[in-house]
Chains A and B, each alone.
Chain A
Amino acid sequence: MTLTLEEVEHIAELARLKISPQEKNRYREQLSEILEYASRLGDVDTSGVNPTSSVLSDRNTLRGDEPRSGMGVKALLFNAPDVEKDQFRVPPVLE
């Protein structure tokens, strides 16, 4: 299974990553190898097995609706590269 360059560009676009032509080629090879490896799962005979979306038990783990205070704005913004008025400041979102 080999990814096309266009597919690599699409994935980069979705991840909002700007990558160089060299990187495109390198990621194309690396990602293709990973997909190739994972595609081995396709060899397993799953006829007669129900589709499985989770390997966790079919028992609910629910939480009561009890509010607790959060982590505090200081801790939240501690690692933020840019902050203004107690909010994260990021490049403009709208074009």
Chain B
Amino acid sequence: MTKTIKSKNSSVSEFEAVIGLEVHAELETKSKMFCACPVVDHNLVEPNTAVCPVCSGMPGVLPVVNQRAVEYALRVALALECEIAPVSIFARKNYFYPDLPKGYQISQYEQPLAVNGRLTILTSQGERHIPVRRVHLEEDTGKLTHVEGDEERYSLIDLNRAGIPLLEIVSEPELHSAEEVRAFAVALRSLLLYLGVNTGDMQKGVLRIEPNVSVRPAGSSEFGTRTEIKNLNSFRALEKSVGYEIQRQIKLNRQGKQVVQETMGWDEAVEETIPQRSKEEAHDYRYFPEPDLPPLVIEKGWIERVQSSLPELPLVKLRRFQEQYGLSAGDAGMLTANPAVADYFEGTANAATGLTAKSAANWITVEIFAFMNQAGVGIEDIEVEPQQLAALIKMVNNGEINQNTAKTVLVEMLQTGETAESIVEKRSLRQISDSGYIAELVKRVLEENPEQVATYLKGKQGLSGWFFGQVMRAAKGKADPQIVKQELERQLGEMDQ
């Protein structure tokens, strides 16, 4: 299949981008991959406090595989529709680097846990199935901190992260644009969240996505020289860096220059990829089967148990939300990206009768999301239960409070945890639907502003919004906006005759 990509210079480019992704996801087990050290947040905990002779590479120790790590890996592999190897083997990947205490990383090489899967992505072009080449288990490395003083430069090593179970997921190079790369990352992150195996936090490095990018003449089946981009800590950085790298390589091609095979970093400030300064030498990992570990045997029964325990997956939920609740693809996508948000939505939509799912979706994706972003919290951290949000929406639907008042009430609910009912009572925010009273307010506003009325009657219809604002102010924002509008129209209409 050939797809062309858009470039700045021409609507249809004569080049095609070819992108594959290598993803590393830490597995949220309680203990490490090959020893019982606790898995801790290495960004928060004191350095070197979750380390033992096994994960620090002391002599004479032996690794033992964490069963739950295998279970989590199976969940992901099955959700990606992979074939599970009945027997897979661990291998040593040898290289010397200070973050690797043993001098090798225990990984999988020739017989990985799972192969031949696929992930469905959604882009503006529609739906695509991206093949997944392999999924395998390995261990994370330690964390290096580089210190640059005036006089001296050195590095510090914290081994808390060393040995945390790591899942490597490799796609086939069948992505062709920055948008598709982002869509893959979004879909995979969602999947990991649903499976409860990873928090999806790219900022903290718990989920690391490394694209390798090359370009070739459109229609060619040969691959161009590829570069790899590392240290991307957000979807935005991922998408931007891939877009930049594609354009950079196309430009080199047009100039008849060679793309150099190298590892790139991403400079967030100038939004450019830059070659990493590290010495590039031929990788020579001298893989060989790990003599300290027996082959990993996955019996059919285990696969079946894991398969039957898989939750409803993101794409299935998205389709169901569209069908069951009549939501748009956009709303359904936003609500199903995170399983906690999806549960919250369903809790709200099903909490009360006479409440449309669409309105629940709106309140969550607009007001609740805005609050979460501002406060930097997840939906599981907010004070307002789905039932309480439903109660608020119901008050709007019943005409007890108007939309604007409801927004203010929700903010207070989110800040204090109080119910909508009690806030409305306490502040006497109940909507005024008494048309006689509203007619009085309208009359008073028109009498107090004869000049504006005259201008309006001369044909400046735009002033109706201003009158509306004045009436609402007189009503302290509590008047039913529909009735205010009708009443304004009626009284101004009468004057016009």
Q: Tell me whether B53 and A86 are in contact (CB under 8 A).
A: no
Complex-state Cα separation, A56 to B89, whole angstroms: 12
How many chain B residues touch A (Cβ–Cβ < 8 Å)? 55
- In residues 1-44 of chain A, which contact B (Cβ within 8 Å)? 10, 13-16
- Range class of the A interface residue count: 35 or more
Complex-state Cα separation, A51 to B146, whole angstroms: 44
Smallest Cβ-Cβ distance to B72: which chain A residue:
A65
Complex-state Cα separation, A56 to B296, whole angstroms: 11
Please indicate the chain A residues that have their CB under 8 angstroms from the CB of B281 in the complex.
13
- In residues 65-88 of chain A, which contact B (Cβ within 8 Å)? 65-73, 76-77, 84-88
Q: Tell me whether A73 and B36 are in contact (CB under 8 A).
A: no
Please indicate the chain B residues that have their CB under 8 angstroms from the CB of A48 in the complex.
none
Complex-state Cα separation, A69 to B39, whole angstroms: 10
Q: Which of A13, A69, A77, A84 has the most CB of B within 10 A?
A: A69
Comparing B42-50, B190-198, B367-375, B415-423, the segment that makes contact with chain A is B42-50
Q: Tell me whether B96 and A15 are in contact (CB under 8 A).
A: yes
Q: Tell me whether B154 and A90 are in contact (CB under 8 A).
A: yes
Given contacts A66-B30, A66-B31, contact A93 B146 (CB under 8 A): yes
Partner of B153, one of A10, A59, A92: A92
| Nearest chain A CB to B310 CB, angstrom units | 19
Please indicate the chain B residues that have their CB under 8 angstroms from the CB of A58 in the complex.
87, 294-295, 297
Partner of B51, one of A15, A16, A54, A76: A76
Interface string of B49-63 (1 = CB under 8 A from A): 111110110000000
Please indicate the chain A residues that have their CB under 8 angstroms from the CB of B70 in the complex.
62
Partner of B64, one of A57, A63, A71, A88: A63
- Is A60 an interface residue when CB atoms closer than 8 A count as contact? yes
6 inter-chain pairs at a CB distance below 8 angstroms, sorted by A residue, are: A53-B289, A71-B51, A73-B49, A91-B154, A93-B144, A95-B279
Give me the interface of A with B, judged by CB distance under 8 Å. 10, 13-16, 53-54, 56-73, 76-77, 84-95
